[in-house]
Amino acid sequence: MEHVVIIGNGISGVTAARYIRKMSDKRITIISAESKYFFSRTALMYIYMGHMSFEDTQPYEAHFWDKNNIDLVQDYVQKVNYDDKTLHLAETTPIHYDKLILAVGSKPNKFGWKGQDYHGVQGLYSKKDLDLMERNTRNAQEAIIVGGGLIGVEMAEMLLTRNINVTFLIREDRFWGGVLPLEDSLMVKRHLEKHNGLTLRLEEELEEIVADEEKRAKAVITKKGERIPCQFVGLTAGVSPNVDFLKGDQLEIERGILVNPDLSANIPDVYAIGDCAQFKQPNGQRKPIEQVWYTGRMMGETVAQTICGSPVEYKPGNWFNSAKFFDLEYQTYGWVWNELKEGEAEFIWKNDEKELLLHFIFDKESHEFKAINTFGIRMRHEVFDHWLNTNASIEEVIRNLKMANFDPEFYKHFEKEIIEAFNKQFDQNIKLAKNKWWKSLLPQ
């Protein structure tokens, strides 16, 4: 029986295993040093904040793996021998594979800052990082976070629940400026600043970390020369593929493991998925390395089909993503860039008091709807996906917005205001469509 070995039990590796099991009776082994059972990495913050126990973050019960005949090995892979298809592990006897899926994830970026390896300085990606953070912040009162992205915000939220003051060093002139347009970024910034104990320092970078005699961080010095005392430094300037142990002269690695459209690497029977995969040819507007929960899952779904004899290429649909900045929810469908692109027009509606913002992107000429960022109002994925697939016009989107709303029942609706604002700005006379069951918008 063919033996499929998966290194890494994050969402990519586990999704691959689940689908391979559904489509075949191949022998499946998942190797992970991080934890025996799959847990949701995105939920690590909730353990630290006391919302959930570690067990709560595990989507499948222990008997699931037995029942589905998926072997779990908790160990470090030290070396891969591609010639005789053998994995050498730290404690277990070598494992032979017929097909190897590398789903080894990421590690936090460290850009060679002075003092980046002192005690009390760390990133946040793995369960191990979380345990370390628990120890590192035990007696901390002030923390510095370097890098204003999603993990940085999570870390800030976590630290505030332990009454630790946070100073955020952000290189750009605005929050998450590489991704969010100005208005959106300002909305998030305003929301963050509502939380006591959080200070944002824009256009400020880390120069070096200063430690005490025991090599424990006690302050940072910024590029502008300011010295800020702290007992904890969070490094959240992105993540990069965790591929050091795979580097050699056989497997092609650039930043990540180079893969073809079907996720195969340059060595036969070896595949890479999730955070660690780098597409030789990027898909459309997507980055060559995609470090998102959803794309990891999709790559797992894709590679499973190839391994089970019906080869397919990685073909994600319309871009979507979501996040939560403290209490501010964010969803996006289609590509909203941080600056308008050639030929794009935008319509922004916002309500500062209630912290709501909708940012629509559409084609200047044809009025084809391109994308939306939504803050504070939940939107229906299915409906927006449909509008993107059918090149709906911005007018159609605005008119039917109420049916695309996914907020809980009894929430206040703003569609009337939104339409009025749109009509005023673009000198139109659109009327709100009659409210029907949302599925009537989709092809029957």
Partner 1 sequence: MTAINQSISGDTASLNTQQKIGAGIGATGLIILLLASFNVGFQPLWLWLTISLAAIAGGILWYTRATYVGHPEGIKNDGVYFRSLTSKGLYGYLAGVGLTGFYIILYFYPEYIGLVEGSSNEGIIQLFDPLSKSLNGNPASQWFVYGTLYTLAILFFGIKFIIKYRHSRYHIIRTASVMFFQLAFAFLIPEFMARLNGDGLNLPYYDLKNIWPLNYYNFDQYRVDKMINSGTIGMALLIFGIASIFIITPILTYFYGKRWYCSWVCGCGGLAETAGDSFRQLSDKSTRAWKIERWLIHSVVVFVTISTVAVVHSYLGTDTSKYWLTKSAFLWIVGGILTLIFAWVMLFKRHKFQKDALYGAVGFFVVIIAFMGIHGLSDTEHIFLVEKQTVRGGYGFLIGSIFSGVIGTGFYPILGNRVWCRFGCPMAAILGFQQKLLSRFRITTNGGQCISCGNCSTYCEMGIDVRAYAQKGQNIVRSSCVGCGVCSSVCPRGVLKLENGPSEGRVDDNPIIIGHDNQPRLQ
Window 44-63: residues binding partner 1 (CB under 8 A): 46-47, 49-59, 61
Buried b (16+ CB within 10 A) or exposed e, 393-430: bbbbbbbbbbbbbbeeeeeeebbeebbebbeeeeeeee
- Cα angle value 57/63/69 (rounded, 5°): 115
**Residue 205 C-beta: closest distance to partner 1, Å:** 28
Binding part of the chain for partner 1, among 24-32, 143-151, 158-166, 235-243 by CB under 8 A, reads 158-166
Among 43, 89, 258, 421, binds partner 1 (CB under 8 A): 43
Which of 302, 336, 357, 360 touches partner 1 by CB under 8 A?
302
Which residues in 183-202 contact partner 1 (CB under 8 A)?
194-195
Query: Minimum distance from CB of 21 to partner 1 (Å)?
Result: 11
Subset of 92-151 contacting partner 1 (CB under 8 A): 134-135, 137-140
Q: Which residue, among 299, 255, 263, 211, has the nearest Cα to 11 in the 3D structure?
A: 299
Q: For residue 387, state whether it binds partner 1 (rule: CB under 8 A).
A: no
Q: Which stretch binds partner 1 (CB under 8 A): 182-190, 264-272, 292-300, 417-425?
A: 292-300
The enclosing H or E element of 4 equals: strand 3-7
In degrees and rounded to multiples of 5, residue 406 shows phi and psi of -120, 15
Are residues 253 and 270 in contact, defined by beta-carbon separation less than 8 angstroms? no
d(CA 185, CA 183): 5
Stretch that binds partner 1, among 233-241, 246-254, 358-366, 376-384 (CB under 8 A): 376-384
Candidate list 350, 380, 399, 402; residue touching partner 1; CB under 8 A: 380
* 162 near partner 1 (CB under 8 A): yes
Beta bridge partners of residue 200, listed in sequence order: 168
Identify whether the C-beta of residue 340 lies closer than 8 Å to the C-beta of residue 361.
yes
Q: H helices within 2-60, ranges in order?
A: 11-23, 44-48
- Beta pairing partners, 216: 119
**Binding flag, residue 335, partner 1 (CB under 8 A):** no
408-437 footprint of partner 1 as x/- string (CB under 8 A)? xxxxx------------------------x
Options 176, 320, 347, 387; binder of partner 1; rule CB under 8 A: 320
Rounded least distance, CB 379 to partner 1, Å: 8
Contact between 281 and partner 1 per CB under 8 A? no
Binds partner 1 by CB under 8 A, chosen from 3, 26, 324, 367: 324
CB of 328 to partner 1, least distance (A): 9
φ, ψ (nearest 5 deg) of residue 129 = -60, -40
- Within positions 226 to 245, which residues make up the interface with partner 1, using CB under 8 A? none
Comparing CB distances to partner 1, the nearer of 88 and 381 is 381
Q: From the CB of 361, what's the least distance to partner 1, in Å?
A: 18
The one segment of 115-123, 223-231, 252-260, 374-382 that binds partner 1 by CB under 8 A: 374-382
Q: Least separation, in Å, of the C-beta of 329 and partner 1?
A: 5
Least separation, in Å, of the C-beta of 50 and partner 1? 4
Q: Which of 29, 165, 322, 393 touches partner 1 (CB under 8 A)?
A: 322
Short-list 175, 176, 168, CA closest to 220: 168
Distance CA 325, CA 191 (A): 8
Question: Contact at 8 Å (CB) between 296 and 10?
Answer: yes
Q: What are phi and psi of 11, to 5 degrees?
A: -60, -35
Q: Of 216, 248, 251, which Cα lies nearest the Cα of 230?
A: 216
Query: Taking contact as CB under 8 A, which single stretch among the options 91-99, 178-186, 266-274, 309-317 is the one that binds partner 1?
Result: 309-317
> If we measure between CA atoms, which residue out of 227, 202, 231 comes closest to residue 216?
231
Q: Does 406 bind partner 1 (CB under 8 A)?
A: yes
Q: Quick one: which of 193, 144, 202, 208 has its CA closest to 171?
A: 202
From 8, 17, 19, 277, residue interacting with partner 1 (rule: CB under 8 A): 19
Enter the tokens of residue 362.
């559409």
Measured torsion, CA atoms of residues 70, 103, 1, 64, in degrees rounded to the nearest 10: 10
Looking at the DSSP bridge assignments, the partners of residue 7 are: 31, 102
Closer by beta carbon to partner 1, 326 or else 426: 326
By beta-carbon proximity to partner 1, the closer residue of 195 and 280 is 195
Q: Does the protein bind partner 1 through residue 385 (CB under 8 A)?
A: yes
H helix or E strand, kind and range, residue 374 = strand 369-375
Total residues interacting with partner 1, rule: CB under 8 A? 72
Give 134 or 212: the residue with its C-beta nearer to partner 1: 134
Quote the tokens at residue 329.
Answer: 């929810």
CB-nearer residue toward partner 1: 56 or 254: 56
Closest CA to 399 of 434, 444, 367: 434
Interstrand relation of 142-146 and 165-170 (parallel, antiparallel or unpaired): parallel
22 lines the binding site for partner 1 (CB under 8 A): yes
